[in-house]
């Protein structure tokens, strides 16, 4: 039950944000921000796709995104507090 209320911020660094977002949305119903980024070393264009999700959703989200983009870089951060709209699936 605790995991239901525990939240994490997940960041995906990718060259194909549409593919990552589609894979993300097939698993959960949270919003996502897509941020333009430039690699400091390579100078290549990247995108950071960021969302706050429940910790119990994390394994499925990561697996689904890595399935469509095996080169994606995944960073997770503990989220202490999140204010705003946050979808929480009803308990059945």
Q: Total structural domains in the chain?
A: 1
Neighbouring C-alpha atoms within 13 Å toward the C-beta of 40 = 0
* Domain assignment of residue 84, yes or no: no
Q: How far is CA 33 from the centre of its chain?
A: 9
CATH number at 40 reads 3.30.70.120
* Domain assignment of residue 88, yes or no: no
Between CA 32 and CA 24 the distance in angstroms is 9
pLDDT-derived band at 21 (thresholds 50, 70, 90) equals very high
Domain, as residue range, for 58: 2-79
Phi, psi of 33, deg, nearest 5: -105, 140
Please, which residues have CB within 8 angstroms of residue 25's CB and are 6 or more apart in sequence?
32
Which of 9-18, 22-31, 58-67 shows the lowest mean pLDDT across its residues? 22-31
Find, among 3, 22, 87, the residue nearest to 12 by Cα: 22
């Amino acid at each position: 039950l605790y995991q239901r209320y525990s939240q994490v911020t997940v960041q995906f660094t990718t060259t194909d944000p549409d593919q990552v977002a589609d894979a993300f949305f097939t698993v959960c119903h949270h919003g996502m921000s897509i941020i333009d980024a430039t690699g400091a070393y390579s100078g290549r264009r990247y995108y950071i796709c960021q969302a706050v999700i429940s910790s119990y959703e994390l394994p499925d989200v990561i697996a689904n995104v890595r399935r469509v983009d095996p080169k994606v870089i995944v960073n997770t951060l503990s989220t202490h507090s999140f204010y705003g709209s946050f979808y929480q699936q009803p308990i059945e």
